[in-house]
């Protein structure tokens, strides 16, 4: 319990009175609590600071709790989220994938118990295999088709049409693997891969191309992709590559 008491908790609520009360109460019982008044501010602070848990109201102006949760799940999938709400209907709960709910008004003892249970679940949760795939291809039809195939195989695709958008996605949150076409109008896939490796040398990158033989024939090439796919390719080939990356990731020491 003492390990969790120093956990950093981000609280998001447009009710400033409740926000201040939550921050003061959680700080009084030993947590590090930071409060922000809306979802936009929450996303801004998550870019620069690390938290162990987020507690958010659902009904807020602008970006509501459901919208905030979707972005957190996309960019910070390992961050547990609890909802506090006076509108915890079955329909609303069905739309959300939060780790827990607190209906207003609630007892502090109840939220303390839920926080500890959620943090304990975070500590015992095993590392997930390769899951979130960033697909980069300027061909809209191909990009959509590949995304559908990855979804059907229980991966979570994030599809973008350019290298610039790919770098923005990588800057925003967790990605497990990048799959990129080589021939693109703004920045080619090899240049994109080099930029990715500069940012994160451990990020796996798979390149798709119709000219793989040229790359393989060049002994001086500094291409360090984790795999190549020659278009057109069979679906089982890309699934095999992703499975191999998952196995390699699981074998790394924690």
- Domain end call among 96, 124, 152: 124
- Give the pLDDT score at 193: 93
Q: Cis omega before residue 213 (within 30°)?
A: no
* CATH code assigned at 99: 3.40.50.2300
Q: Specify whether 118 is located in the same domain as 136.
A: no
- Our count of domains for the chain comes to 2
Average pLDDT estimate for 201-210 = 87
Q: Which residue did the predictor score with more confidence, 217 or 132?
A: 132
Residues 192, 246, single domain; the answer is yes
Structural domain of 61: 2-124
| 245 shares a domain with 178 | yes
One domain, residues 94 and 141: no
Same domain, 151 and 244: yes
- The reply to whether 104 and 164 lie within a common domain is no
**Rounded (to 5) percent helix, strand, coil in the chain:** 45, 20, 35
In 3-state terms, what secondary structure has residue 150? helix
Task: Identify the burial level of 220 via C-beta atoms within 10 angstroms of its C-beta, where 0-12 means exposed, 13-18 middle and 19 or more buried.
Answer: exposed
Question: Final residue of a domain: which of 73, 106, 124?
Answer: 124
Question: What's this model's pTM, rounded to 2 decimal places?
Answer: 0.52
* Short-list 14, 2, 120, 103, CA closest to 59: 14
In terms of domains, do 146 and 199 share one?
A: yes
H/E stretch holding 110: helix 108-124
Summary mean pLDDT of the chain: 81
Same-domain check for residues 241 and 169: yes
Place of tokens 């009084």: 28
Asked if residue 114 and residue 17 are part of one domain, the reply reads yes
Boundary of a domain, candidates 77, 101, 124:
124
Q: Are residues 138 and 232 in the same domain?
A: yes
Q: How confident is the model at residue 198 (pLDDT cuts 50, 70, 90)?
A: confident
Residues 118 and 144 in one domain: no
Domain co-membership, 190 together with 96: no
């Amino acid at each position: 319990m003492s390990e969790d008491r120093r956990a950093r908790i981000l609280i998001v609520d447009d009710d400033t009175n409740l926000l201040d009360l939550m921050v003061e109460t959680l700080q009084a019982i030993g947590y590090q609590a930071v409060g922000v008044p809306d979802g936009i501010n929450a996303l801004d602070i998550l870019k620069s600071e690390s938290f162990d848990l987020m507690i958010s109201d659902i009904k807020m102006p602008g970006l509501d709790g459901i919208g905030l949760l979707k972005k957190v799940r996309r960019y910070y999938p390992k961050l547990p989220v609890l909802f506090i709400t006076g509108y915890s209907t079955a329909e609303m709960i069905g739309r959300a994938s939060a780790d827990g709910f607190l209906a207003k008004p609630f007892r502090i003892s109840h939220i303390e118990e839920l926080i500890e249970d959620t943090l304990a679940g975070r500590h015992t949760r095993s590392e997930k295999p390769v899951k979130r795939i960033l697909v980069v291809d300027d061909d809209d039809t191909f990009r959509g088709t590949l995304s559908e195939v990855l979804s059907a195989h229980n991966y979570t695709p994030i599809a973008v049409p350019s290298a610039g958008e790919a770098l923005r996605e990588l800057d925003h949150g967790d990605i497990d693997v990048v799959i990129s076409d080589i021939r693109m109008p703004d920045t080619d896939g090899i240049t994109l891969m080099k930029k990715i490796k500069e940012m994160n040398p451990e990020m796996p990158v798979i390149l798709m191309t119709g000219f793989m033989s040229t790359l393989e024939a060049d002994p001086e090439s500094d291409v360090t992709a984790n795999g190549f796919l020659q278009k057109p390719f069979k679906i089982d080939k890309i699934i095999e590559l992703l499975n191999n990356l998952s196995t390699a990731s699981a074998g790394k020491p924690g």
